[in-house]
Amino acid sequence: MRTLRPVSAILLIVLAFSMMQVNGQVYHTPLFDGASAYSFLTGQCDFGPRPPGSENLTLCRAYIVETLESFNWTVSIQNFTYRETECANIIATWSETVNSPIVLGAHYDTRPKATSDHPDNQSIPILGANDGASGTAVLMELARVLPTANRSRVELVFFDAEDSGQIDGWDWIRGSVHYVSELTPQRITTIEAMVLVDMVGDADLYLPKEGSSTDSLQNVIWSIAANLGYSSTFVDSPASSIYDDHRPFLDVGIPAVDIIQVPFPSYWHTLEDTPDKCSAENLEIVGEVIEVFVVGYDTENGTFLPDTPYVLYGTLIVVPLLLLVYYLRKKR
C-alpha cells in the first residue's frame, strides 16, 4: 500500500474536520430517554382519570411541579376559573428567564367522559394515557435532558382544560386560550415558535402534517425527523386541521405547530386509552426530534436549523469528489 502524499493527507484532514464541525452543529446526540418518558406517562395515569377541577388532577399537578423542580426549573401556576371550575396551567422557565423564544406545550388534563365509547360507558372519565399523559410526559423528559446551556430558550407550558369540549356546555382548549390572553404584546413578539405535542405515544405512531400549523416551522421539524431517520413516523403528508392548543398562538400571529396523530387512534376518548396502547420507543422518537429542534435554534439570528444538512451533504459529496479528481489527475 502506498503511503499518503502530503496533499492527500491534508485533504483527508480537511474532510474529517469539516464533518466533525457539521456533526457538532446538526447532530447533537439526543439524550431523550423513552423509558424515562414512559415512566412519566404511567406516573400521571397512576392518579386515575384527571378531568379539570378534580382531586386527581390536583395531585397530578403537584407531581408534575415536583418533577420539574427536581430538575431545577422555576415553576409557576397560572390559575383561572372557567364555568365555576378552578383550573391551572403549569409554566416552567429556566431560572429567572423571561422571553424564551420557544414555547413547548401539552395538555395535562383528561376528558371527563368517554364520549366515543359504548353508550354504557359514556359518562365514565377516561384515563388519557395517550390523550393527555403522552405529550406531558415528553415535556417532562425534555425538562430532564435538555442541555442546561439551551434551557433558557425554552418555556414549558402544561395546559389545563383542553379536553372537555362539548360536555356540559364546555368549550375546548380553555387553558391555552387563557395563557395567550395573558401575554403582553411585547411578549408575543418574542415568541419565535410554539410547538405542541398531543397524542404522541401510540405504539403505531403516525404523525402527518397537521393542517393549520405554520408550514415553515413544520417543515423544519419534519426535516429534523427525517435527518434522524424518523420519516416513517413524521410522515411527509398533509392531514386535516385540528382545533388544539396551538390555535390561540396562531390567532395572535405566533408560528405554531401541532404534533399530533391524525386520524386519531381508535381508542380516542374511550376507556381504552390506557398505557398499554403507548410505547416508550415512540415517545423517544418525538422527544429526540424536539430536543434536536431546541438545541439547533440559532439564538443570534433567531432562525431554526436545518439549513445545515445541505452543508453536510455538500461536505459528503464535494470533498470526496475533490479527492477523486485529485487522484485521477495524479494518475495521468
Point out which residues pair with 155 in neighbouring strands. 103
> Is 163 near Zn ion (CB under 5 A)?
yes
- Interacting residues of 305 by C-beta distance below 8 A, sequence separation 6+: 25, 26, 220, 224, 293, 296, 297, 298
- Helical spans, DSSP H, in the chain: 6-26, 34-45, 55-70, 135-145, 174-181, 185-190, 215-227, 247-251, 280-296, 308-331
| Interacting residues with Zn ion between 221 and 280 (CB under 5 A) | none
> Is 160 near Zn ion (CB under 5 A)?
no
Between CA 193 and CA 221 the distance in angstroms is: 11
Burial class (CB in 10 A: 0-12, 13-18, 19+), 3: exposed
Tell the smallest beta-carbon distance from residue 128 to Zn ion (Å). Answer: 7
Nearer to Zn ion, 22 or 161 (CB): 161
Tell the smallest beta-carbon distance from residue 235 to Zn ion (Å). Answer: 21
Strands 207-209 and 102-107 come out as unpaired
Nearer to Zn ion, 18 or 121 (CB): 121
> Is 131 near Zn ion (CB under 5 A)?
yes
Applying CB under 5 A, the site for Zn ion has a residue count of 2
Residue 206: which of 230, 178, 235, 181 has the closest Cα? 235
Residue 145: which of 29, 299, 41, 231 has the closest Cα? 29
Tell the smallest beta-carbon distance from residue 312 to Zn ion (Å). Answer: 39
Between CA 164 and CA 85 the distance in angstroms is: 12
Nearer to Zn ion, 131 or 245 (CB): 131
Cell readout for 280 is: 416508550
Specify the stretch interacting with Zn ion by CB under 5 A; choose among 125-133, 172-180, 227-235, 310-318: 125-133
Nearer to Zn ion, 244 or 288 (CB): 244
Write each residue from 84 to 123 as x if it is in contact with Zn ion (CB under 5 A), else as -, in one continuous string.
----------------------------------------
Specify the stretch interacting with Zn ion by CB under 5 A; choose among 59-67, 97-105, 156-164, 212-220: 156-164
Tell the smallest beta-carbon distance from residue 268 to Zn ion (Å). Answer: 7
Nearer to Zn ion, 11 or 260 (CB): 260
Tell the smallest beta-carbon distance from residue 163 to Zn ion (Å). Answer: 4
Residue 108: which of 63, 144, 161, 156 has the closest Cα? 161
Between CA 92 and CA 295 the distance in angstroms is: 18
Tell the smallest beta-carbon distance from residue 157 to Zn ion (Å). Answer: 17
Nearer to Zn ion, 154 or 278 (CB): 278
Binding site for Zn ion (CB under 5 A): 131, 163
